């Protein structure tokens, strides 16, 4: 019974990621695509959490925090590039 | 003249998040013997934290406040890794022979200390040095 709920949540998350991929491909501006990538990262975090409950292991818990950090840094890098034209500034 | 952009939110979030990222990287580094983690991912997470500092501030102020030559850091990491391998030969074993023992430390009690941690220190320093060297030298060639 519990496993069925886990599988159902994973399926719903997959549908959410598919809609995000639609926005990633279709998105008119670059900001839409960056937003879609950030949302895909957060959905991946939720998917990993549910999958590690399903597998009954705590080996993937570091991965959750790691994907959060990398998604945050990637979004900031994209935002800097869209706003300033450079990712890392030489002198502010 | 263009007015200077004000990113006070980004700076405040960076100052908080960098502490969390560095703490997490140290945790990943020490967990590597018994749990997922280790030198490579610990070094890469530290590099991610330093890259976040570079992104949020600029190159010159970070290099003024964190005066590390990352090429030397990578070289020192490789040297540490080679010397921990040579230490095994020094005691009459094979190259890269690792050993461990149980010691009574003042705070932690009985702790397992392994020489594989020293090899991991070398790997982590090499990974940090290489990643930061690549990123800063890529970002330098404009203007």
| DSSP letter for each residue of B22-44 | HHHHHHHHHGGGTSS--HHHHHH
The number of folded domains in chain B is 1
Please name the residue of chain B whose CA is at the shortest distance from the CA of residue A70.
B48
Q: How far apart are CA B43 and CA B131, in angstroms?
A: 9
Question: What percentage of chain A exceeds 70 in pLDDT?
Answer: 99
A80 to chain B, any CB pair closer than 8 A? The answer is: yes
**Structure-model confidence comparison of residues B120 and B106, the more confident one:** B120
Average pLDDT in the B50-68 region? 89
Residue A11 contacts B, CB cutoff 8 Å: no
Quick one: DSSP state of residue A85? S
> Domain for residue B113, yes or no?
yes
CA–CA separation, A25 and B14 (whole Å): 30
Q: Token pair for residue B84?
A: 């921990």
Q: How far is A81 from chain B (nearest CA, A)?
A: 10
- Report the Cα A74 to chain-centroid distance in Å: 10
As a whole number, the mean pLDDT across chain B is 87
| Torsion, CA B31, CA A64, CA B129, CA A92, rounded to 10 | -140
Domain membership flag for residue B85: yes
Residue B51, domain extent: 8-140
What the block records as the tokens of A37 is: 């990538």
In degrees, to the nearest 5, what angle opens at C-alpha A53 toward C-alphas A47 and A54?
A: 85
pLDDT digits (tens, 9 = 90+) for A31-58: 999 999 999 999 999 999 999 999 999 8
DSSP for residue A60: T
Task: With a cut of 80, say whether residue B4 has pLDDT above it.
Answer: no
- In this prediction, residues B27-41 reach a mean pLDDT of 89
> Is the pLDDT reported for residue B142 higher than 80?
no
Answer yes or no: do B28 and A89 touch at CB < 8 A: no
Check the CA dihedral B8-B9-B14-B19 and report its sign: positive
Q: Does A66 lie at the interface with B, CB-CB under 8 angstroms?
A: yes
| Position A60 pLDDT exceeds 60 | yes
More confident residue, B2 or B18: B18
In a domain, residue B1? The reply is no
Asked whether residue B75 is domain-assigned, the answer is yes
**Would the pLDDT of B5 be above 80?**
no
Does a structural domain hold residue B2?
Answer: no
Residue B37 CA to chain centroid, in angstroms?
Answer: 13
Between chains, do A88 and B45 touch, taking CB under 8 Å as contact?
no
* B100, B112 Cβ separation under 8 angstroms: yes
Task: For residue A91, give the nearest of B17, B51, B60 by CB distance.
Answer: B60
Q: Give the three-class secondary structure for B103.
A: strand
CA A11 to chain centre: 16
Q: Count of A–B CB contacts within 8 Å?
A: 60
Q: How far apart (Å, rounded) are the C-alpha atoms in residues A5 and A23? A: 27
The domain spans of chain A are: 2-84
In a domain, B27, yes or no: yes
Q: Is B48 inside any structural domain?
A: yes
The helix, strand and coil proportions of chain B, stated in percent and rounded to the nearest 5, come to: 65, 10, 25
Alpha carbon of B90: minimum distance to chain A alpha carbons (Å): 37
Closest partner residue to A66 (CB to CB) among B10, B45, B52 is B45
**What is the rounded distance in angstroms from the CA atom of residue B53 to the CA atom of residue B48?**
9
Structural domain includes residue B122: yes
Least trusted range by pLDDT, from B20-24, B88-92, B131-135: B88-92
* Long-range own/partner contacts, residues A46-49 (CB < 8 A, 24 or more apart): A46/A13, A47/A10, A47/A13, A47/A14, A47/A17
Binned at pLDDT 50, 70 and 90, residue B116 comes out as confident
Instruction: Please answer yes or no on whether B57 and A70 come within 8 Å at the CB atom.
Output: no
Residue of B nearest to A81 (CA): B55
Q: Please give the Cα distance from A17 to B26 (Å, whole number).
A: 32
Q: Tens digit of pLDDT for each residue in A6-23?
A: 999 999 999 999 999 999
pLDDT given for residue A48 in this prediction: 94
Given this model, what pLDDT does residue B141 score?
63
Q: State mean pLDDT over B52-60.
A: 89
Whether the predicted pLDDT of B143 surpasses 80: no
- Give the pLDDT band of residue B128 (cuts 50, 70, 90): very high
């Amino acid at each position: 019974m519990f496993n069925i709920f886990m599988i159902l949540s994973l399926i719903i998350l997959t549908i959410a990621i598919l809609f995000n991929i639609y926005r990633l491909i279709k998105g008119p501006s670059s900001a839409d695509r960056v937003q879609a990538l950030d949302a895909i990262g957060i959905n991946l975090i939720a998917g990993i959490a549910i999958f590690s409950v399903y597998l009954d292991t705590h080996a993937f818990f570091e991965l959750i925090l790691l994907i959060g950090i990398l998604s945050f840094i990637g979004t900031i890098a994209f935002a800097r590039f869209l706003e300033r034209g450079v990712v890392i500034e030489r002198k502010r | 003249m263009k007015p200077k952009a004000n990113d006070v939110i980004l700076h405040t979030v960076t100052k908080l998040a960098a502490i969390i990222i560095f703490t997490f990287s140290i945790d990943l580094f020490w967990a590597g013997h018994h749990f997922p983690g280790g030198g490579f991912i610990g070094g890469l997470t530290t590099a991610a934290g330093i890259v976040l500092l570079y992104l949020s501030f600029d190159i010159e102020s970070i290099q003024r406040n964190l005066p590390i030559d990352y090429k030397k850091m990578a070289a020192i990491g490789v040297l540490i890794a080679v010397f921990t391998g040579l230490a095994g030969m020094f005691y009459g074993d094979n190259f890269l022979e690792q050993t461990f023992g149980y010691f009574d430390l003042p705070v932690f009690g009985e702790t397992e200390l392994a020489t594989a941690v020293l090899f991991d220190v070398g790997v982590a320093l090499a990974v940090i040095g290489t990643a930061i060297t690549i990123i800063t030298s890529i970002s330098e060639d404009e203007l």
